[in-house]
Structure 1
Amino acid sequence: MVTSNRRHESVLSRRAAAVATLDGCLFTAAEARAAGLTINDLRSDAVVALRRNVYVTATTPITLGLRCGAALRVTKSDARVAHVTAARLWGLPVPETDRLHLSYERRPNKTLVGTIAHRHPAGSLARSVFVAGVGRLPVSDPTGVVTECADSLGLVDLVVLADAVLSRHDVDARRTIDVWKHGAGPHSAVLREVARRAREGAESPPESRTRLLLVLAGLPEPVVQHEAFVAGRRRRFDLAYPELKIAVEYDGSYHYASEAQKKQADIVREDELRCAGWIVIRVVSVGIFRDPASTLARVADALTQRGVKVAPNTA
Structure 2
Amino acid sequence: MTSVEWAAFDLARFLPKEDAVIALEGMYAQGFSVASMQPLLDREVGTWGIRRALEVWRSTNPDSQSPMESRTRLILEEAGITGFAAQVEEPALGYFVDLGHRFAKVAIEYDGDDHFDAARHRRDVRRINRLRAEGWEVIVVTYDILQNHRDEFLRQVRQALERRGVRLAA
TM-score norm. by structure 2 comes to 0.86
Q: SS state of the match for residue 243, structure 1?
A: coil
- Report whether the alignment pairs 1:272 with 2:130: yes
* Deviation per residue, 1:218-264 (Å, 9 max, x gap): 1113111112223xx31011110112111111111437xx8332232
Distance 1:205 1:188, change over 3 A: same
Greater than 6 Å deviation, 4+ residue runs: none
1:228 and 2:90 are equivalent in the alignment? yes
CA, structure 1 residues 171+311, in 2 after alignment: closer, same or farther (shift >3 Å)? same
Structure 2 CA distance, aligned partners of 1:274 and 1:251?
17
* Structure 1 counterpart of 2:36: 175
Amino acid at match of 1:266: D
1:302 CA displacement? 0.8
Largest Rg, 1 or 2 = 1
Partner letter of residue 302 of structure 1? Answer: A
**1:150 Cα offset (Å):** 4.1
Opposite residue 296 of structure 1, the aligned amino acid is: L
One-letter amino acid of the structure 2 residue matched with residue 276 of structure 1: E
Matching residue of 1:40: none
Paired AA for residue 194 in structure 1: V
Q: Is the 8 A contact 1:300 1:311 kept in 2?
A: no
Partner residue of 2:60? Answer: 198
Q: Between Structure 1 and Structure 2, which shows a larger proportion of helix residues?
A: 2
Query: Taking every aligned residue pair, what percent have the same amino acid on both sides?
Result: 28
Among candidates 150, 154, 158, match of residue 292 of structure 1:
150
> Would you say the 8 A contact 1:180–1:192 is kept in 2?
no
Question: What is the Cα-based RMSD across aligned positions, in Å?
Answer: 2.2
- For 1:172 and 1:159, locate their aligned partners in 2 and report how far apart those are by CA, in whole Å: 13
The alpha-carbon distance between structure 1 residues 169 and 216, as it changes in their structure 2 partners (threshold 3 A), is same
Residue aligning to 1:11? none
The match for 1:156 among 2, 12, 18 is 18
Q: CA deviation at 1:181?
A: 4.8
Shift of 1:180: 6.7
TM-score by length of structure 1 reads 0.49
Partners of 2:21 and 2:105 lie apart in 1 by 26
How far apart are 1:170 and its partner, in Å? 2.4
Query: Helix, strand or coil for the counterpart of 1:254?
Result: helix
Larger relative contact order (C-alpha < 8 A, sep ≥ 6)?
A: 2
Q: Which amino acid aligns with 1:246?
A: V
1:202–1:171 CA distance, 2 compared to 1 (3 A): same
Kindly state the Cα deviation for residue 309 of structure 1 after the two structures are TM-superposed: 2.3
More strand by share: 1
Q: Report the Cα distance in structure 2 between the residues aligned to 1:212 and 1:285, rounded to whole angstroms.
A: 14
Please state whether the residue corresponding to 2:83 is helix, strand or coil: coil
Query: Matched residue of 2:100: which SS?
Result: strand
Q: Deviations over 1:153-184 (max 9, x none)?
A: 2112111212222x2242234333x3575343
Any gaps of 5 or more consecutive residues in structure 1? 1-79, 81-123, 126-140
Q: Which residue of 2 aligns with 1:259?
A: 117
**1:147/1:191 contact within 8 Å kept:** yes
Q: Distance in 2 between matches of 1:180 and 1:300?
A: 39
